[in-house]
Amino acid sequence: MKPATFPEVFSLQGEHALITGGGTGIGLAIARAMHAAGARVVLIGRREAELAAAVKELGDRASYHVHDITQFGAAAPLVERIVQAHGPLTCLVNNAGMHLKKPAVETTPEEFQQVMNTHIFGAHALSRAVIPGMIERKHGNIIFIASMASLFGIPLVVAYAAAKSAMIGMIRTMATELSPHNVRVNAIAPGWIDTAMSRKAFAGDPNRKSKIISRTPMARLGEPEDVGWAAVYITSPAAKFVTGSILPIDGGVAMGF
């Protein structure tokens, strides 16, 4: 096999990525980076106005579908519609999620289930829908957006932490099953990233930001594009021997004190 050369080794030309929660925040940053690297991107989410604005910004090679990933039975028909409209999907980014900040003793079974439905069952349903085509073509990438909560203990997020931890087990199992078919499965674990959601959280708790930065060796928040370009790397030929990995994008939080 002829070795790839720079910059082709980081190109996503010919890739077709489905990105959940792609209208805002980290999902949109991933879409921007993948699109800039040459991929066609399809954004899905529940809020059409945000998706439409994102696709308008991206321009050619971008489209969207309004979809609730907790409607598990709708995953396969969605993928079929996308494939018929734009061709086979070669990459799935399971980014959509929900947060719940509540003491463990106050978290109800219904709330716990809702978080798991989004992060685990919804992601699994979409993965099941795209995997057969990837196996058939002997080419594919599935990326999960994990969390610092899947690496160490964070108080008041028991359902979220459980879901993100379960995600790590799912990634490792799927990577082992799919690797013989040249389908790679990896995760990105963002640290504290400067997004509209994090700014809203800090506005209600001004001491939290300074506490987070004091525990971050690089002493600042990350930017959404830091996660976006990491996703490009994982999907690109440069990472063709990378699977089952969890890549922290966290300014050193996971290894700092």
**Active site (annotated) includes residue 160:** yes
Task: Pick the catalytic residue from 112, 144, 160, 192.
Answer: 160
Task: Measure the CA–CA gap between 124 and 45, rounded to whole angstroms.
Answer: 16
CA distances from residue 151 to 195, 225, 240 in whole angstroms, order as listed: 21, 22, 25
For residue 92, the surrounding DSSP H or E stretch is strand 91-94
CA angle 174–117–115, rounded 5-degree value: 110
Q: Identify whether the C-beta of residue 172 lies closer than 8 Å to the C-beta of residue 244.
A: yes
User: First and final CA of the chain: distance in angstroms?
Assistant: 44
**List of residues 6+ apart from 239 with CB closer than 8 A:** 184, 186, 233
- What positions carry a catalytic annotation? 160
